[in-house]
Amino acid sequence: MHAKPYDPLPIGVLALDGQMRIRAWNRWLAEHTGIADSRAISQRLEDLFPGFCNPRFQMAVEQVLRNDGPQILSQALHRYLIPITLPHLARQGFELMQQHVHIEAYEVDDERQALVSVIDVTGSVLRTEALTDVAQRLEHDVNRDPLTGLFNRRFMWEWLDHQQRQAQRHHYPIAAMMLDVDHFKRINDSHGHLIGDRVLQEFSQQLTAWVRESDIVVRYGGDEFLILLPSCDQALSHEVAERIVQQTRQCSLGELPASAVTCSLGVALFEPDHPLSPADLLNLADHRLYLAKQAGRDQIVTGS
């Protein structure tokens, strides 16, 4: 059999016999691999592409030759069959053409062969990834505060509503810490809004670093922040709150010297045996933050 009957097709077509030797190799494959059909015929894929090893493909060919039923190797699972380089897409993370492969039985001159179709789906994969990136950016923009990159109140309400149901079901507490930067207006007035923004940005970064990955840090508004800590009881929440106040005092934020920026913090606890609504939980934390500021700032107030 010659490759010419498959030459007009805009996909790669090759045929394999029972010994996995190539019996047909169309023009599309010759143009995209740089391997002429005269060189490909009677060779195995591993002869043409050193290092080629695809047990799933070999098993699929054997099943087709034995059972007639077609086989598919999707790009999502296998990415590609034949390593065809795409230098113009290397910067986008696609050095090799992404391929969808279809294998079916074919009879020629009383010999059963496996007819392999190789379809270039790189463009489709690129579009899908681009759409995914756009969706992720949109989700980020919707759920994040633009100045600090922290979660915003929209995300916070959704997260807290779901997390409280989980806490009720699995019986664990949630700590809510409301905090703000002490005398932030004075910082803005004395050093300018640019320094004030840097203080908020660097403070946000530190808060994220000081808590666990499972905790949620929210810019609640202005210089006020909220930290939600699942599976955090009274003792642990007190320890974390004290550490945040102490480390804030020791940090240099927004080019200001250490101790120039301090914070006050109020802690409230959601407990499954005595549940509070999300609004009541945050109101209680906010009230305790107010008490901390009334008591002189740079300190915490908890329910203990």
Number of C-beta neighbours around residue 21 at 10 A: 16
Give 86's contacts (C-beta < 8 A, 6+ positions apart): 94, 95, 96, 97, 122
Give the integer Cα–Cα distance in Å for 31 and 52. Answer: 19
Give the integer Cα–Cα distance in Å for 256 and 129. Answer: 42
Using H for helix, E for strand and C for coil, what is the string for 189-203? HHHCHHHHHHHHHHH
Closest of 208, 189, 187, 211 to residue 198, by C-alpha: 187
The answer to whether 223 is a known catalytic residue is yes
Which residues on adjacent β-strands are paired with residue 224? 180, 221
Catalytic residue among 223, 233, 280, 286: 223
Residues with catalytic function: 223
